[in-house]
Amino acid sequence: MTPENHNAAPIPATSAEDGFDGIHDPSFFRDGCGVACVARLDGLAIHETIDRALVALDRLEHRGAAGADESTGDGAGIMFGLPHEFFRSRTAEIDTKPVVLPPPGRLAVAMCFMRR
């Protein structure tokens, strides 16, 4: 213990009569956060990993991960690495002059929300 919290008041005990069991009152929770992690420890990039991540995302629907509002996103999605070859092939399609990409592993992609 540090001096700052040595004399802290104890957390009051709760009971089923209080309407909840434990030290956290459920009425304080206002979000539907849920997290799933799907990864290959060997680093092998295969499509099965994406398929499993999409299944995990689908199973988070009960936590609020649903596109219920057509005009905004709910923040639910998956993150994954794109192969360098994918970017190289796409830059040739969208631009008439050559685009020089950084070496593999040194390219980042961001999704930005900007005012109109």
**In a domain? residue 35:** yes
Collapsing DSSP to helix, strand or coil, 87 comes out as helix
- What per-residue confidence (pLDDT) applies to 71? 67
- What per-residue confidence (pLDDT) applies to 41? 92
Q: Residue 18 — very low, low, confident or very high, per pLDDT cuts 50/70/90? A: low
Distance from C-alpha of 75 to C-alpha of 85, rounded to nearest angstrom: 28
Beta carbons within 10 angstroms of residue 114's beta carbon: 4
**In a domain? residue 76:** no
Active site residues: 33
Beta carbons within 8 Å of 14's beta carbon, 6+ residues apart: 20, 21, 22, 23, 25
**In a domain? residue 80:** no
**In a domain? residue 111:** no
Q: Do 38 and 23 contact (CB within 8 A), yes or no?
A: no
**In a domain? residue 36:** yes
Q: Give whole-number Cα distances, 59 to 10, 55, 63, in Å.
A: 38, 6, 9
**In a domain? residue 61:** yes
- What per-residue confidence (pLDDT) applies to 42? 93
Give me the number of domains the chain comprises: 1
Q: CA 100, 106, 109, 114 torsion: positive or negative?
A: negative
pLDDT at residue 17 tops 50: yes
**In a domain? residue 23:** yes
pLDDT tens digits for range 76-91: 778 887 788 888 888 8
Domain that holds residue 57: 3-70
